[in-house]
Structures are given as C-alpha cells and as structure tokens.
Amino acid sequence: MAKSWSEKKITSILSSRDHQILDELLDAADRCRRKSVGPKVFLRGLIEFSNECRCNCFYCGIRNGNLSILRYRLPNNEIIALAMSAFDAGYSSLALQSGESDDPQKINEVVQFVQAIKAQSLARDNTGQGLGITLSIGELTFDQYKALWEAGAHRYLLRIEASDPRLFSQIHPPGQSYEKRLHCLDALKTIGYQVGTGIMVGLPGQSIENLVRDLQFFVERDIDMLGMGPYIPHPNTPLYMKQVPDYDPFIMTLKIIALARLMMPDINIVCSTALQTINPRGLELGLKAGANIVMPVLTPENYRSSYSLYADKNYTRPLKLIEQIRGYGYEVELRTWGDSRHYAARQAQK
C-alpha cells in the first residue's frame, strides 16, 4: 500500500491549496479508517503527572529554561488514585505523560506507580486485563525502558518532532541528539512496546519536502502509533516570533493525518490536543482525517495550566469530549484497550 504513494504524489497533495483536493483526501481517509480500523474511537485518559523537565527544546513551554511556570510532580499515591478513579469511571487505557528525567530515583517512582496501577486495576477487573498503559516520558536508557515494560507499560510515545536531522538540530539545543532519539525508538521496539512517534507541523524552517520525508520516515520505521499536531508558538521559548512556513498548520496537519491513514491503514493515530486547540473544528476534522484515538485530559485542575506545552492549550471536559465524538458519528469504545492493529500484525509475522 505504502509503495503506491510516490514522493511526487504526496508532494502535490501537500502543496495544493485546492479545497476540493482536501475534501477528497479527507473523504478517502475516512473511508479507509472505517474499513481498516473501524468507526470506533479509543480513549486514553491522559494524566500529565509532572512538568519537571531536563530538556530545553526551543519550542516547548515546559522547557527547563522557562522559569515562569510552577513546577509540579504529583506524588505516587495521587497518580495511583487518579488512575483508579479513571478505571472506575470506565476508562480501560491511560496515557501517563511528563517532562523528561532519567534520574534513577524518579524512574523508579514511575516503575512503582505503573506496577501499582497494574496490580490494583487487575484486582478489580473481571476481564483479566487491567488498565492499558501508554507512557510518554522521553528519552531513557534501555534498562529503564525495560523496567517500565516489566512493570506493565506496553505502549510508548516518543515523537521524533522532525525527521530531518538538520531541522531537528535547529529546534533542539546541541546536547539533544537526533541519533539518540532514533536509538530510543529502536530500544522501545526491541523490548516489545507498541511504539508511537510523530512530528509538529508548521515549525519554523520546515518545508513541504521535510513533511514528505516525515511520512516516509513513519513508514520506514514501521511504527504502530502516530501522534502529531500543529506547532503552536509559546511566548517563553526561543522559537517564539520566528518566522513560520506560509502553509496553514491546521490544514497541513489534517493532510498529514489523512495521508498517514492512507499509507498506514492499520496504525493508531491520535487526534492531538494541539489540533483541537488551534481550530474549533480540530476534533471533528482530525477524526475525519483518520485519527482513531482521543486522549481526554484527566490531570487535576490545579496542575493543568502548568502543563503548558504551548499557548492557550485547549481543555474540554472528558464527558463533553465523548459527547462530541459521538456527535460526529463515531463510536466511543471504552471497554477494550484499542491496541494498534498494526502491532498485532507485526507480532503475527514474527
């Protein structure tokens, strides 16, 4: 399937400003998703458990150098309690996210709460599954990834942010290396995780050619999940006010999601909060473009505003979000984990 998508064809779709081409693309992607992964949308209750971060990514509002936000880290018992109340409310999968730290003590804490969430949810669950756990806590060592896997996490999101090494180095400080990111993605796959990656769309210096390569990168890497969103400038970051490309980041993100769905029919694709933030129709059109995962934010209200990756982050109450998804004609699936079908196919081939 992927092979039939030539560079020329992708480039022409991404460069086009014709609304009819966009409409046709979204229709094709919606048909493809209904056929390959069905009309279901799976939820991941998102708990942003800490905004402490050792990195200094030039685009990110929780970068270490931003001294104007309050730093927080939820204590383990609060994280576990939140996870269990999500489970009681009907969620079968969670995404646990934070800034990056490879401090062995901190990772050990994550191992502990993942174990506890797993054990407690299994004890209350008659399907024998317990809560499905996705982690998104950055670049760690192989052994740390392995310990988290053994604790019960089975999916991991680590965006490449920009698959072109040059663009990657323009948006990250010298200490953060592209090779290390690739190495981490490899490690996650070796261990057995369902691996997700993604990019930001509309970054300063990003060309259409870069985006075409990004799509090829996802295919080549045989990823299981994709999480992408438009780049939204944050005032307390070095990239703020830097000139952005002349394409519309919202429309371009929709196109990339749609092409990703068509090129990789059986992967899971997230309809990101950034997409919902940048345009009031973000949820509706993100789903139409082929996204099948939504992550309602379950982070407690008093911490939510400190998890400010970008400006004016959207917050929609989970129940409202579920209502909206149904309103757009999709089924909200709460009972099952909603693992990536691509992962299952990958495992079957082994």
Binding residues for [4Fe-4S] cluster: 53, 57, 60
Burial group, residue 34, by CB count within 10 angstroms (0-12, 13-18, 19+): middle
Nearer to ligand 5AD, 57 or 287 (CB): 57
For the chain, report the end-to-end CA distance as a whole number of angstroms.
20
Annotated binding residues for S-adenosyl-L-methionine, as ranges?
161, 181
Out of 43, 55, 232, 287, the only residue in the binding site for ligand 5AD (CB under 6 A) is 232
SS3 (DSSP) at 37: coil
CB of 152 to ligand 5AD, least distance (A): 22
CA of 146: how far to CAs of 14, 25, 73, 189, in Å? Answer: 38, 40, 23, 11
Sign of torsion, CA 77 82 84 85? positive
Annotated binding residues, as ranges?
53, 57, 60, 161, 181
CB-based contacts of 27: which residues, under 8 Å, 6+ apart?
none
Tell me if 172 contacts ligand 5AD by CB under 6 A: no
The footprint of ligand 5AD on residues 88-117 (CB under 6 A) is none
Q: What residues does 293 pair with on adjacent strands?
A: 42, 270
CB of 44 to ligand 5AD, least distance (A): 13
Binding letters toward ligand 5AD, positions 199-218, x by CB under 6 A: -x------------------
CA atoms within 13 A on the CB side of 328: 23
Binding letters toward ligand 5AD, positions 255-274, x by CB under 6 A: -------------------x
The footprint of ligand 5AD on residues 140-169 (CB under 6 A) is 159, 161
Q: How far apart are CA 187 and CA 181, in angstroms?
A: 10
The footprint of ligand 5AD on residues 25-64 (CB under 6 A) is 59-60
Tell me if 234 contacts ligand 5AD by CB under 6 A: yes
Please give the torsion angle defined by the CA atoms of residues 9, 11, 12 and 18, in that order, rounded to the nearest 10 degrees.
130
Out of 58, 87, 145, 231, the only residue in the binding site for ligand 5AD (CB under 6 A) is 231
Sign of torsion, CA 186 187 190 196? negative
By CB under 6 A, the count of residues binding ligand 5AD is 12
Nearer to ligand 5AD, 41 or 200 (CB): 200
Interface positions with ligand 5AD (CB under 6 A): 59-60, 159, 161, 200, 229, 231-232, 234, 274, 309-310
